[in-house]
A and B are shown apart, each in its own frame.
Chain A
Amino acid sequence: MKELIVISGKGGTGKTSLSAAFCHLAHSSVCADCDVDAADLHLILNPQIEQSHTFSSGHEAIIRQEACTACGLCEKYCTFDAISQDENGAFHVDAYACEGCKVCVEFCPAQAIDFPEAECGVWHTSTTRFGSMVHARLHIGAENSGKLVSLIRREARAMAEAENAELVIVDGPPGIGCPVIASITGADGVLIVTEPSVSGAHDFERVAQLCAHFNIPAYLCINKYDINPDLGDSICAEAARYEIPALGKIHFDPAFTAAQIQCQCVTEYTSPGAGAETIAAQVRKLWNTLEKRINI
């Protein structure tokens, strides 16, 4: 069973659209939406939820007002500016700023601060027209440590084993921080989807360094290639320096959006005119090449 992660560095390059198409094209797969901060894959895959679970991570500090003596030590000690005094002189912890470090709880002279587990989000196991899916939603302001990402990957792998699926396809998060790291470590392959723009080139570099740092085999796809083919080619050349082969160049086409509006992936979507067909063919070709590379 192999695991393929689709990431982008920069947001908005077409990562989720392509992940959905791969779920369509793969013979037997389980898909995982690890972009837990702004999950979109479900909008195309239309999952039927079978089981939901709450997700807790870390703790949060809550001041018990009746026990608080308003000494202000907690505010003084908090390094995250999470504690402040209101107009009545009462101290409060801002749940969005609290990092759950426990310092205020530990040092409060009146032991007036509670430290319950923080419920951060909810995750689901579901079925889709392409197979099983694991996905989640992080609550507003929740810490995005990558723990939920790790959990989703684990559950997806467990499902794939149980179903004898040969592949787990992961729609990864943008950026290069913890959630991305959690999504790619130990993967069999990472597909980096970028666009031929100075932003895309710049962010590609950061993601390529991340994959190199963690020693993960990576591949490149340039989406909206024809907006700037010269820049597209120079990103491919840059990728070659990192030993990242360019496996696909997909043209810009309104079919990407049109398919999304129909809740279809680009390889399902048909419309009069050559555009949709050309895109679908380019994505299929990319998929066939990728399949061979990760050996499934």
Chain B
Amino acid sequence: MNVAFSATGSDLNSDLDQRFGRAKQFILVDSETNAATILENTQNMNAAQGAGIQAAQNVINAGADAVVTGNCGPKAFEVLQAAGVKIYHSRESSVGEALKAILNGDLQEADSANVESHWS
């Protein structure tokens, strides 16, 4: 499956960005081939409002089946859920560690947003 990780940098050693909507970028990893592509998210860092919604749309359009992030607000959650994208929360510090965790089945699928809207 295609997993999108919110990331502060462009490779697997980068920190997992704890924010979904205003993450710097996403690293999209195909769990079968390990191929990784970068999905820029800068327009959302600058969005006045609705950054989470826009990020969710971008990630969906890029073909993600799952998202791994730190915190995800209710609007982004709703959009991802509508598209059938699974959301996982991870406290791992790097994208690489979060990838290992999801492949090992260590991450729990989220059934709701875990932060208030307007968060940061």
Interface residues of A (CB under 8 A from B): 56-58, 143, 145-147, 150, 153-154, 181-182, 185-186, 214-215
Those 3 A-B pairs whose CB atoms lie nearest each other, nearest first: A145-B48, A147-B48, A185-B118
A147 in contact with B49 (CB, 8 Å):
yes
Name B16-48 residues within 8 Å CB distance of A: 46-48
Is B11 in contact with chain A by the CB < 8 A criterion?
no
A-B pairs with beta carbons under 8 Å apart, 12 shown: A57-B46, A58-B48, A146-B48, A147-B46, A147-B47, A154-B120, A181-B118, A182-B118, A185-B118, A185-B119, A185-B120, A214-B116
> Most B CB atoms within 10 A — which of A56, A57, A147?
A147
Q: CA A146 – CA B115 in complex, angstroms?
A: 18
> Most A CB atoms within 10 A — which of B46, B48, B49, B119?
B48
Name B67-120 residues within 8 Å CB distance of A: 115-116, 118-120
Query: Besides the contacts A146-B48, A185-B119, what 16 more A-B pairs have beta carbons closer than 8 Å?
Result: A56-B46, A57-B46, A58-B48, A143-B48, A145-B48, A145-B49, A147-B48, A154-B120, A182-B118, A185-B116, A185-B120, A186-B116, A186-B119, A214-B116, A214-B118, A215-B116
Which A residues touch B46, using CB under 8 A? 56-57, 147
Which A residues touch B119, using CB under 8 A? 185-186
Residue of A nearest to B49 (CB): A145
- Secondary structure dominating the interface of A: mixed
**How far apart are B111's CB and chain A's nearest CB, in angstroms?**
20
Which among A57, A154, A181, A185 is the interface contact of B48 at CB below 8 angstroms?
A: A57
**How far apart are B53's CB and chain A's nearest CB, in angstroms?**
15
Which A residues touch B120, using CB under 8 A? 150, 153-154, 185-186
Which B residues touch A143, using CB under 8 A? 48
Name B38-67 residues within 8 Å CB distance of A: 46-49
**How far apart are B114's CB and chain A's nearest CB, in angstroms?**
12
**How far apart are A29's CB and chain B's nearest CB, in angstroms?**
19
Residue of B nearest to A153 (CB): B120
Q: CA A153 – CA B47 in complex, angstroms?
A: 15
Which A residues touch B118, using CB under 8 A? 146, 181-182, 185, 214
Which B residues touch A215, using CB under 8 A? 116
**How far apart are A236's CB and chain B's nearest CB, in angstroms?**
28
Which B residues touch A185, using CB under 8 A? 116, 118-120
